[in-house]
Amino acid sequence: MRKFSLVQPENLKELVAFLAKADGQRVILAGGTDLFSLLKDEILNPEIIVDLSRLKELFGLRQEKEALRIGALTTISELASSPIVQKNFFGLKQAAQSIGSPQLRNVGTVGGNLCQRPRCWYFRDPLFQCRKKGGSRCFALNGRNKYHAIFGGGICNIVHPSDLAPSLISLEAKIKIASKDGEKEMLLADFFTLPSVSLRQENKLQPNEVLTEVIVPKPSSHLKSTYVKFTERGSWDFALVSVAAAAEVQGDILKKPKFVLGGVAPIPWRLTVFEQMIEGKKIDEKMAAAAALEALKEARPLSENAYKVDLASVLLTRATMSLLSR
Protein backbone atom coordinates (compact mmCIF):
# COMPACT_ATOMS: atom_id res chain seq x y z
CA MET A 1 0.00 0.00 0.00
CA ARG A 2 1.37 3.44 -0.90
CA LYS A 3 1.52 6.40 1.46
CA PHE A 4 -1.47 8.74 1.63
CA SER A 5 -2.72 11.64 3.73
CA LEU A 6 -5.82 11.10 5.84
CA VAL A 7 -8.43 13.86 6.08
CA GLN A 8 -11.22 13.61 8.66
CA PRO A 9 -13.84 16.33 8.22
CA GLU A 10 -16.03 16.99 11.27
CA ASN A 11 -19.24 17.68 9.36
CA LEU A 12 -20.78 17.75 5.87
CA LYS A 13 -19.99 21.43 5.34
CA GLU A 14 -16.32 20.82 6.01
CA LEU A 15 -16.34 17.72 3.79
CA VAL A 16 -17.85 19.37 0.71
CA ALA A 17 -15.59 22.41 1.14
CA PHE A 18 -12.58 20.08 1.20
CA LEU A 19 -13.79 18.07 -1.82
CA ALA A 20 -14.27 21.29 -3.78
CA LYS A 21 -10.75 22.57 -3.23
CA ALA A 22 -8.67 19.37 -2.93
CA ASP A 23 -5.94 18.94 -5.48
CA GLY A 24 -4.64 15.51 -6.33
CA GLN A 25 -6.40 12.19 -6.41
CA ARG A 26 -8.56 11.47 -3.38
CA VAL A 27 -11.03 8.77 -2.42
CA ILE A 28 -13.79 8.60 0.14
CA LEU A 29 -13.55 6.09 2.98
CA ALA A 30 -16.68 4.76 4.71
CA GLY A 31 -16.39 1.29 6.34
CA GLY A 32 -13.30 0.42 4.28
CA THR A 33 -14.37 -3.19 3.57
CA ASP A 34 -13.96 -2.68 -0.17
CA LEU A 35 -11.60 0.27 -0.28
CA PHE A 36 -8.78 -1.27 1.75
CA SER A 37 -8.41 -4.29 -0.53
CA LEU A 38 -8.17 -1.92 -3.53
CA LEU A 39 -5.47 0.08 -1.73
CA LYS A 40 -3.52 -2.99 -0.61
CA ASP A 41 -3.47 -4.37 -4.16
CA GLU A 42 -2.57 -0.87 -5.45
CA ILE A 43 -5.52 -0.88 -7.83
CA LEU A 44 -6.18 2.57 -6.38
CA ASN A 45 -3.30 4.82 -5.33
CA PRO A 46 -4.88 8.01 -3.98
CA GLU A 47 -2.83 10.80 -2.46
CA ILE A 48 -5.61 11.65 -0.01
CA ILE A 49 -8.19 9.53 1.79
CA VAL A 50 -11.23 11.37 3.09
CA ASP A 51 -12.67 9.52 6.07
CA LEU A 52 -16.42 10.05 6.65
CA SER A 53 -16.55 8.50 10.12
CA ARG A 54 -17.01 11.82 12.00
CA LEU A 55 -20.03 12.91 9.96
CA LYS A 56 -22.76 12.18 12.50
CA GLU A 57 -25.43 13.51 10.12
CA LEU A 58 -24.87 10.55 7.74
CA PHE A 59 -25.61 7.80 10.28
CA GLY A 60 -28.91 5.99 10.84
CA LEU A 61 -32.45 5.62 9.50
CA ARG A 62 -35.24 8.15 9.79
CA GLN A 63 -38.91 7.45 9.06
CA GLU A 64 -40.71 10.47 7.64
CA LYS A 65 -44.32 10.80 6.51
CA GLU A 66 -43.63 10.12 2.84
CA ALA A 67 -40.34 8.24 2.92
CA LEU A 68 -37.73 6.27 4.79
CA ARG A 69 -34.39 8.13 4.85
CA ILE A 70 -31.26 6.03 5.18
CA GLY A 71 -28.00 7.85 5.94
CA ALA A 72 -25.10 6.79 3.73
CA LEU A 73 -23.09 5.64 6.78
CA THR A 74 -25.86 3.38 8.09
CA THR A 75 -24.37 -0.09 8.37
CA ILE A 76 -25.88 -2.97 6.45
CA SER A 77 -26.62 -4.73 9.78
CA GLU A 78 -28.55 -1.71 11.02
CA LEU A 79 -30.53 -1.65 7.77
CA ALA A 80 -31.34 -5.37 7.94
CA SER A 81 -32.45 -5.20 11.58
CA SER A 82 -34.52 -2.02 11.29
CA PRO A 83 -38.15 -2.73 12.33
CA ILE A 84 -39.37 -0.33 9.58
CA VAL A 85 -37.42 -2.20 6.90
CA GLN A 86 -38.57 -5.56 8.25
CA LYS A 87 -42.21 -4.44 8.25
CA ASN A 88 -42.43 -2.45 4.99
CA PHE A 89 -39.59 -3.56 2.76
CA PHE A 90 -39.24 -7.33 3.02
CA GLY A 91 -37.13 -7.56 -0.17
CA LEU A 92 -34.66 -4.96 1.10
CA LYS A 93 -34.29 -6.84 4.37
CA GLN A 94 -33.60 -10.06 2.42
CA ALA A 95 -31.05 -8.29 0.21
CA ALA A 96 -29.24 -6.77 3.21
CA GLN A 97 -29.19 -10.09 5.06
CA SER A 98 -27.71 -11.84 2.03
CA ILE A 99 -24.60 -9.64 1.99
CA GLY A 100 -21.24 -11.12 2.99
CA SER A 101 -20.81 -12.16 6.61
CA PRO A 102 -22.05 -10.64 9.91
CA GLN A 103 -18.65 -8.96 10.38
CA LEU A 104 -18.91 -7.33 6.94
CA ARG A 105 -22.49 -6.21 7.50
CA ASN A 106 -21.48 -4.67 10.85
CA VAL A 107 -18.83 -2.49 9.19
CA GLY A 108 -19.93 -2.06 5.55
CA THR A 109 -22.23 0.89 4.93
CA VAL A 110 -25.19 1.46 2.63
CA GLY A 111 -23.36 4.24 0.71
CA GLY A 112 -20.26 2.05 0.37
CA ASN A 113 -22.35 -0.86 -0.87
CA LEU A 114 -23.82 1.26 -3.66
CA CYS A 115 -20.42 2.78 -4.60
CA GLN A 116 -18.30 -0.40 -4.25
CA ARG A 117 -16.07 -1.30 -7.18
CA PRO A 118 -16.57 -4.38 -9.39
CA ARG A 119 -15.24 -7.78 -8.37
CA CYS A 120 -14.04 -8.74 -11.89
CA TRP A 121 -10.86 -10.76 -11.36
CA TYR A 122 -9.04 -8.96 -14.17
CA PHE A 123 -9.90 -5.56 -12.64
CA ARG A 124 -8.82 -6.73 -9.17
CA ASP A 125 -5.57 -8.32 -10.34
CA PRO A 126 -2.71 -5.76 -10.43
CA LEU A 127 -1.06 -7.77 -13.23
CA PHE A 128 -3.88 -7.14 -15.71
CA GLN A 129 -4.05 -3.64 -17.17
CA CYS A 130 -7.64 -3.95 -18.35
CA ARG A 131 -9.74 -1.23 -20.02
CA LYS A 132 -11.29 -0.20 -16.73
CA LYS A 133 -7.80 0.61 -15.46
CA GLY A 134 -6.78 2.49 -18.59
CA GLY A 135 -5.59 -0.48 -20.69
CA SER A 136 -6.71 -1.31 -24.19
CA ARG A 137 -8.74 -4.51 -23.77
CA CYS A 138 -11.30 -6.38 -21.70
CA PHE A 139 -9.60 -9.67 -20.79
CA ALA A 140 -12.93 -11.30 -19.94
CA LEU A 141 -14.14 -11.07 -23.51
CA ASN A 142 -11.99 -13.94 -24.72
CA GLY A 143 -10.72 -15.09 -21.33
CA ARG A 144 -12.31 -16.63 -18.24
CA ASN A 145 -15.76 -15.09 -18.05
CA LYS A 146 -17.90 -17.37 -15.91
CA TYR A 147 -18.83 -14.52 -13.54
CA HIS A 148 -19.23 -11.77 -16.12
CA ALA A 149 -22.03 -9.87 -17.83
CA ILE A 150 -24.75 -11.28 -20.05
CA PHE A 151 -26.34 -7.86 -20.58
CA GLY A 152 -24.84 -4.41 -21.26
CA GLY A 153 -21.20 -5.53 -21.57
CA GLY A 154 -19.11 -5.43 -24.73
CA ILE A 155 -16.18 -3.08 -24.16
CA CYS A 156 -16.05 -4.02 -20.45
CA ASN A 157 -17.90 -7.01 -19.02
CA ILE A 158 -18.00 -6.42 -15.27
CA VAL A 159 -21.15 -7.09 -13.27
CA HIS A 160 -22.36 -4.72 -10.58
CA PRO A 161 -21.75 -6.50 -7.26
CA SER A 162 -24.24 -4.72 -4.97
CA ASP A 163 -27.19 -6.61 -3.50
CA LEU A 164 -28.78 -3.45 -2.11
CA ALA A 165 -28.85 -1.64 -5.47
CA PRO A 166 -31.30 -3.93 -7.34
CA SER A 167 -33.59 -4.07 -4.32
CA LEU A 168 -33.58 -0.29 -3.77
CA ILE A 169 -34.20 0.32 -7.48
CA SER A 170 -37.18 -2.04 -7.41
CA LEU A 171 -38.55 0.14 -4.57
CA GLU A 172 -38.00 3.30 -6.68
CA ALA A 173 -35.47 4.69 -4.20
CA LYS A 174 -33.73 8.00 -4.76
CA ILE A 175 -30.32 9.11 -3.56
CA LYS A 176 -29.13 12.45 -2.27
CA ILE A 177 -25.77 13.79 -3.39
CA ALA A 178 -24.02 16.74 -1.76
CA SER A 179 -21.33 19.08 -3.05
CA LYS A 180 -20.25 22.65 -2.28
CA ASP A 181 -22.96 23.81 -4.71
CA GLY A 182 -25.72 22.25 -2.58
CA GLU A 183 -27.69 19.02 -2.62
CA LYS A 184 -29.42 17.19 -5.44
CA GLU A 185 -31.59 14.09 -5.66
CA MET A 186 -31.80 11.50 -8.39
CA LEU A 187 -33.41 8.14 -8.87
CA LEU A 188 -30.94 5.42 -7.88
CA ALA A 189 -31.81 3.78 -11.21
CA ASP A 190 -30.27 6.81 -12.97
CA PHE A 191 -27.10 6.83 -10.83
CA PHE A 192 -25.34 3.83 -12.40
CA THR A 193 -23.59 4.10 -15.76
CA LEU A 194 -22.73 1.53 -18.41
CA PRO A 195 -19.08 1.16 -19.56
CA SER A 196 -20.11 2.62 -22.91
CA VAL A 197 -20.94 5.84 -21.02
CA SER A 198 -18.11 5.92 -18.47
CA LEU A 199 -15.52 3.19 -18.65
CA ARG A 200 -13.43 4.03 -15.55
CA GLN A 201 -16.35 4.68 -13.20
CA GLU A 202 -19.60 2.82 -12.47
CA ASN A 203 -21.76 5.79 -11.49
CA LYS A 204 -22.34 9.50 -12.04
CA LEU A 205 -20.67 10.75 -8.86
CA GLN A 206 -18.27 13.65 -9.56
CA PRO A 207 -14.95 14.02 -7.64
CA ASN A 208 -16.39 16.94 -5.63
CA GLU A 209 -19.54 15.02 -4.61
CA VAL A 210 -20.53 12.60 -1.87
CA LEU A 211 -23.54 10.33 -1.56
CA THR A 212 -25.30 11.32 1.66
CA GLU A 213 -28.67 9.57 1.80
CA VAL A 214 -30.95 6.97 0.26
CA ILE A 215 -34.64 7.84 0.19
CA VAL A 216 -37.18 5.03 -0.10
CA PRO A 217 -40.73 6.24 -0.83
CA LYS A 218 -43.50 5.12 1.48
CA PRO A 219 -44.99 1.94 -0.01
CA SER A 220 -48.67 1.61 -0.90
CA SER A 221 -50.60 -0.82 1.29
CA HIS A 222 -50.57 -3.41 -1.55
CA LEU A 223 -46.82 -3.24 -2.23
CA LYS A 224 -44.89 -6.48 -1.77
CA SER A 225 -41.20 -6.99 -2.41
CA THR A 226 -38.77 -9.87 -2.49
CA TYR A 227 -35.10 -10.62 -3.22
CA VAL A 228 -33.82 -13.97 -4.47
CA LYS A 229 -30.11 -14.54 -4.85
CA PHE A 230 -28.16 -17.51 -6.14
CA THR A 231 -24.54 -17.94 -5.08
CA GLU A 232 -21.94 -20.54 -5.93
CA ARG A 233 -21.11 -21.19 -2.28
CA GLY A 234 -23.31 -21.79 0.73
CA SER A 235 -21.41 -19.33 2.93
CA TRP A 236 -20.84 -15.63 2.07
CA ASP A 237 -20.68 -14.92 -1.63
CA PHE A 238 -21.59 -12.41 -4.31
CA ALA A 239 -24.61 -13.16 -6.50
CA LEU A 240 -24.11 -15.18 -9.65
CA VAL A 241 -27.59 -13.89 -10.42
CA SER A 242 -30.12 -12.18 -8.19
CA VAL A 243 -33.62 -10.83 -8.75
CA ALA A 244 -35.19 -7.97 -6.82
CA ALA A 245 -38.92 -7.66 -7.39
CA ALA A 246 -41.59 -5.29 -6.13
CA ALA A 247 -45.22 -4.88 -7.20
CA GLU A 248 -48.69 -4.06 -5.98
CA VAL A 249 -50.26 -7.46 -5.50
CA GLN A 250 -53.99 -7.89 -6.04
CA GLY A 251 -54.99 -11.56 -5.89
CA ASP A 252 -52.97 -13.30 -8.61
CA ILE A 253 -52.33 -10.07 -10.49
CA LEU A 254 -49.26 -7.82 -10.26
CA LYS A 255 -49.60 -4.09 -10.85
CA LYS A 256 -46.66 -1.74 -11.55
CA PRO A 257 -44.14 -4.61 -11.29
CA LYS A 258 -40.43 -3.80 -11.08
CA PHE A 259 -37.93 -6.59 -11.71
CA VAL A 260 -34.24 -5.75 -11.38
CA LEU A 261 -31.48 -8.30 -11.90
CA GLY A 262 -28.13 -8.31 -10.08
CA GLY A 263 -24.95 -10.11 -11.16
CA VAL A 264 -25.79 -10.01 -14.86
CA ALA A 265 -24.70 -6.57 -16.11
CA PRO A 266 -22.36 -3.65 -15.32
CA ILE A 267 -25.36 -1.93 -13.72
CA PRO A 268 -28.42 -3.33 -11.91
CA TRP A 269 -30.46 -4.53 -14.89
CA ARG A 270 -34.15 -3.69 -15.04
CA LEU A 271 -36.08 -6.22 -17.12
CA THR A 272 -38.94 -4.10 -18.42
CA VAL A 273 -39.84 -6.62 -21.14
CA PHE A 274 -40.66 -9.15 -18.43
CA GLU A 275 -42.64 -6.56 -16.44
CA GLN A 276 -44.74 -5.69 -19.50
CA MET A 277 -45.44 -9.36 -20.23
CA ILE A 278 -46.82 -10.11 -16.77
CA GLU A 279 -48.37 -6.81 -15.69
CA GLY A 280 -52.11 -7.00 -15.02
CA LYS A 281 -52.39 -10.62 -16.19
CA LYS A 282 -53.45 -13.66 -14.25
CA ILE A 283 -50.15 -15.30 -13.38
CA ASP A 284 -49.26 -18.90 -12.68
CA GLU A 285 -45.84 -20.53 -12.55
CA LYS A 286 -45.98 -21.78 -16.15
CA MET A 287 -46.88 -18.34 -17.49
CA ALA A 288 -44.14 -16.62 -15.42
CA ALA A 289 -41.53 -19.14 -16.62
CA ALA A 290 -42.51 -18.66 -20.27
CA ALA A 291 -42.39 -14.85 -19.91
CA ALA A 292 -38.97 -15.08 -18.24
CA LEU A 293 -37.54 -17.17 -21.09
CA GLU A 294 -38.94 -14.76 -23.64
CA ALA A 295 -37.58 -11.66 -21.83
CA LEU A 296 -34.14 -13.23 -21.47
CA LYS A 297 -33.78 -13.62 -25.23
CA GLU A 298 -32.11 -10.18 -25.09
CA ALA A 299 -29.17 -11.66 -23.14
CA ARG A 300 -25.77 -11.92 -24.86
CA PRO A 301 -23.81 -14.49 -22.86
CA LEU A 302 -20.04 -14.93 -23.21
CA SER A 303 -18.28 -18.27 -23.75
CA GLU A 304 -18.55 -19.49 -20.12
CA ASN A 305 -21.64 -17.85 -18.68
CA ALA A 306 -24.70 -18.97 -20.65
CA TYR A 307 -25.76 -20.76 -17.45
CA LYS A 308 -26.72 -17.29 -16.11
CA VAL A 309 -29.60 -17.14 -18.60
CA ASP A 310 -31.13 -20.36 -17.22
CA LEU A 311 -30.46 -19.23 -13.67
CA ALA A 312 -32.07 -15.84 -14.26
CA SER A 313 -35.11 -17.53 -15.77
CA VAL A 314 -35.61 -19.73 -12.68
CA LEU A 315 -35.03 -16.83 -10.27
CA LEU A 316 -37.45 -14.55 -12.15
CA THR A 317 -40.12 -17.23 -11.89
CA ARG A 318 -39.36 -17.79 -8.19
CA ALA A 319 -39.44 -14.05 -7.44
CA THR A 320 -42.78 -13.68 -9.25
CA MET A 321 -44.38 -16.59 -7.39
CA SER A 322 -42.91 -15.34 -4.11
CA LEU A 323 -44.61 -11.94 -4.57
CA LEU A 324 -47.93 -13.69 -5.24
CA SER A 325 -47.67 -15.96 -2.22
CA ARG A 326 -46.86 -13.22 0.32
Contact 101, 118 (CB under 8 A): no
Smallest gap from residue 223 Cβ to ligand FAD (A): 23
Nearer to ligand FAD, 105 or 131 (CB): 105
Smallest gap from residue 155 Cβ to ligand FAD (A): 21
The CA distance from 302 to 26, in Å, is 35
Nearer to ligand FAD, 142 or 206 (CB): 206
Residues 6+ apart with CB under 8 A from 310: none
First-to-final CA distance of the chain: 49
The CA distance from 224 to 167, in Å, is 12
Looking at the DSSP bridge assignments, the partners of residue 102 are none
Looking at the DSSP bridge assignments, the partners of residue 98 are none
Smallest gap from residue 254 Cβ to ligand FAD (A): 26
Smallest gap from residue 111 Cβ to ligand FAD (A): 3
- Name the residue number minimizing CB distance to ligand FAD: 112
Binding-site ranges for ligand FAD (CB under 6 A): 27-35, 72, 99-100, 104, 107-109, 111-113, 115-117, 161-163, 205, 210-211, 236, 238
Nearer to ligand FAD, 29 or 223 (CB): 29
Smallest gap from residue 25 Cβ to ligand FAD (A): 11
DSSP readout, 230-279?
E-SSSSS---SEEEEEEEEEETTEEEEEEEEEESSSSS-EE-HHHHHHHT
Nearer to ligand FAD, 128 or 227 (CB): 227
Nearer to ligand FAD, 33 or 145 (CB): 33
